[in-house]
Structure formats: structure tokens, C-alpha cells
Amino acid sequence: MIAKANDPFNTTKPRAKSVQRSAIHVEDLEVADDPLPQKRSLGPGRYDDLFASMKPGQCIKCEPEHTGAIGNALRSWLKRKRKKNLSVKAARHYPACKDKLGRVWLVAAPESASAKQSIKR
């Protein structure tokens, strides 16, 4: 009997394909005196210009399935730019929207309770 792919009793695993690697020739290698980089160089992100133009309270309209990815990209951008006074809120389904788009907001973060107590003292 031939085992089918959707058979729950089939315990054989498909054979993994091996990675084709080219041979390394010593003649092609060379020694260099390049300095070690101080830190990893990251190029500008896909949304950096859009995020930089946003002000607290503004939102980005996007497809509902993209709200999570754009929200996470905005959170990582805030972390990279060290903007601790801002946060991100996302809504996959925005009820006031007739075109059924999601929203990702840039929100001013509320002050923490410990920061308020230190100001009062």
C-alpha cells in the first residue's frame, strides 16, 4: 500500500534536500588588514520616513492583516530612536471606518506613578 501525504499513520519523514555548496579554492582567498566594524550598520527602515513624519495622536490607516506588522515596526522604531515618552496602539478593526481598514496610533505615553511622586516631593 502506498503511503499518502495526509495519512495520519504515515510516520516516514520526507527526505531533506541537501544544500549545494561550491568548493572553496585556496587560490581565490586573500588576506586583508580591514578593521573590525565598531557596530552593525543598519540601513534606514522601510517605514522610517513615515514614522518620523507622525505626531502623537496621529494614526496610520492600513489593511487589517497588516496592523500587527506595522505596529511592531513602529514599536521597534521608537526603541531604536529612544523615544520613551511615546507608545503604540493598534486596532485591527476600527468601528468608525466604513472602508474596513485597521489603524495604528502613535500615542503620548502617560507619566508613570513614580515620576509623579518624585515631582510632588
The neighbouring-strand residues paired with 62 are: 102
C-alpha cell at 102: 485597521
Contact by Cβ (8 Å): 93, 102:
yes
Residue 6: pLDDT band by 50, 70, 90 thresholds? confident
> Residue 59: pLDDT above 80?
yes
Q: Which of 32-36, 61-65, 91-95, 109-113 has the weakest average pLDDT?
A: 109-113
pLDDT at 29 over 90: no
**Starting from the edge strand earliest in sequence, which strands make up the sheet with 86-91, in order?**
59-62, 102-108, 86-91
Q: Is the pTM of this model over 0.75?
A: no
> Which residues, in sequence order, are CB contacts of 106 under 8 Å at separation 6+?
51, 54, 55, 56, 57, 58, 59, 74, 86, 88
Residue 55 has a pLDDT of 93
Q: Is the pLDDT score of 93 beyond 80? A: yes
